[in-house]
A and B are shown apart, each in its own frame.
Chain A
Amino acid sequence: MDLKKIRKDVAVIGAGMTIFARRLQETGKEMSWEAAKMALDEAGLTLKDIDAVIMGSAPDAFDGVHKKGEYLLDGAGGTNKPYMRVFIGGGTAVFAPIVGWWHVASGMFKRVLVVCEEKMSSVQPHAQSAFGHIWDPILDRPLKPNLVWIFSMEMQRYMHKYNVRYEDIALVAVKNKRNAVGHPCAQLADPNITLEDVLNSEPMALPVRRLDISPPSDGAAAIVLVSEDVAYEHTDTPVWIDGVGWCIDTTMWTNRDLAFPKFVARAAKMAYEMAGIKNPRKEIDLAEPYDPFDYKELQHLEGLLLADPGEAAIMTREGKTQRDGEFPVCPSGGLLGVGNPIAAALGIKIGELYWQLAGKAGPRQVKKDVRTGVAQAWGDLMQVASVVVMRRR
Chain B
Amino acid sequence: MAKKHELFGPPLNPLGTRLEAEDMEKIAHVRAKPNAKYAWAAGAAISRFLEELKNGRIIGRKCARCERVLVPPRMFCERCFQPTTEWVYLPGTGVVETFSISYIDQNANRVKEPILVGVVAFDGAPPHCGIMHYFGEVKPEELKIGMPVEPVWKPAEERVGSVLDIKYFRPRKK
Q: Is A359 close to B, CB under 8 A?
A: yes
Q: Is B66 an interface residue (CB 8 A)?
A: no
Is A383 in contact with chain B by the CB < 8 A criterion? no
Docked Cα-Cα span, A184 to B13, in Å, equals 8
Whether A153 and B119, one on each chain, are in contact in the complex, defined by CB atoms closer than 8 angstroms, is yes
- Tell me the bound Cα distance from A302 to B107 in angstroms: 32
| A contact residues around B5 at 8 Å (CB) | 360, 362
User: Is B50 a contact of A138 with CB atoms below 8 Å?
Assistant: yes
Are A38 and B14 CB-contacts (below 8 A) given A126-B107, A205-B104? yes
A149 at the interface (CB under 8 A from B): yes
Residues of chain A lying within 8 A (CB to CB) of residue B99: 153, 156
Decide: A184 and B117 in contact? CB cutoff 8 A.
Answer: no
A206, B145: Cβ atoms closer than 8 Å = no
Nearest chain A residue, comparing its CB with the CB of B43: A138
- Are the CB atoms of B108 and A126 closer together than 8 Å? yes
**Bound: A138/B72 CA distance, A:** 11
Give the secondary structure class of B's interface: loop
- Give Cα A250 to B129, complex, Å: 12
Question: A362 touches which one: B10, B13, B34, B164 (CB < 8 A)?
Answer: B10
Q: Is the CB of B129 within 8 A of A363?
A: no
- Among candidates B10, B19, B103, B163, residue contacting A143 with C-beta atoms closer than 8 Å: B163
Do B98 and A157 touch (CB < 8 A)? yes
The yes or no answer to A9 lying at the interface (CB within 8 A) is no
Cβ contacts A85-125/B at 8 Å (1 or 0 each): 00000000000000000000000000000000000010011
CB atoms of A18 and B132 under 8 A apart: no
How many Å lie between the Cα of A129 and that of B109 in the bound state?
11
Determine how close the nearest CB of chain B comes to the CB of A23; give it in whole angstroms.
Answer: 4
A19 B16 Cβ-Cβ under 8 A: yes
Contact A143 B78 (CB under 8 A): no
Contact A137 B38 (CB under 8 A): yes
Q: Residue B10 contacts which of A15, A22, A129 (CB distance < 8 angstroms)?
A: A15
The answer for the CA separation of A24 and B5 in the assembled complex, in Å, is: 27
Number of interface residues of B (CB under 8 A): 68
Category for how many chain A residues contact B:
35 or more
Among residues 104 to 139 in chain B, which have CB atoms less than 8 Å away from a CB atom of chain A? 104-108, 114, 117-119, 126-134
A351 to B12, CA, bound (A): 13
Tell me whether A143 and B18 are in contact in the complex, defined as CB-CB below 8 angstroms, given that A152-B100, A153-B118, A203-B103 are known contacts: no
- Chain B residues with CB under 8 Å of A363's CB are 7-9
What is the 8 Å Cβ interface bit string for chain B, positions 1-35, against chain A (1 contact, 0 not)? 11111111111111111111101100100011010
B105 and A18 within 8 A (CB): no
A246 within 8 A of B: no
CA distance A232 to B4 in the complex (A): 18
Write the chain B residue with the least CB distance to A186. Answer: B14
| A34 contacts the other chain (CB 8 A) | yes
Query: A355 — which chain B residues lie within 8 A by C-beta?
Result: 9-10
If A139-B131, A153-B119 touch, does A25 touch B102 (CB 8 Å cutoff)?
A: no
Asked whether, in the complex, the Cβ of A157 is within 8 Å of the Cβ of B7, the reply is no
22 contacts between A and B (CB under 8 A): A15-B10, A16-B11, A19-B14, A19-B15, A21-B19, A23-B19, A23-B21, A25-B18, A31-B16, A126-B108, A132-B106, A142-B163, A143-B163, A146-B108, A152-B101, A184-B11, A205-B101, A205-B104, A206-B103, A255-B70, A355-B9, A361-B10
Interface residues of A (CB under 8 A from B): 15-19, 21-26, 31, 34, 38, 42, 64, 121, 124-126, 128-129, 132, 137-140, 142-146, 148-149, 152-154, 156-157, 160, 182-185, 202-208, 218-219, 250, 252, 254-258, 347, 351, 355, 359-365, 369
Known: A19-B16, A22-B19, A38-B11. 4 other contacts (CB 8 A): A21-B18, A25-B18, A143-B132, A156-B98
Closest 9 CB pairs of A and B: A362-B9, A152-B100, A205-B102, A19-B16, A157-B98, A25-B17, A23-B19, A206-B101, A18-B16
- List the interface of chain B (C-beta within 8 A of A): 1-21, 23-24, 27, 31-32, 34, 38, 40, 42-43, 46, 50, 70-72, 74, 78, 97-108, 114, 117-119, 126-134, 140, 145, 162-164
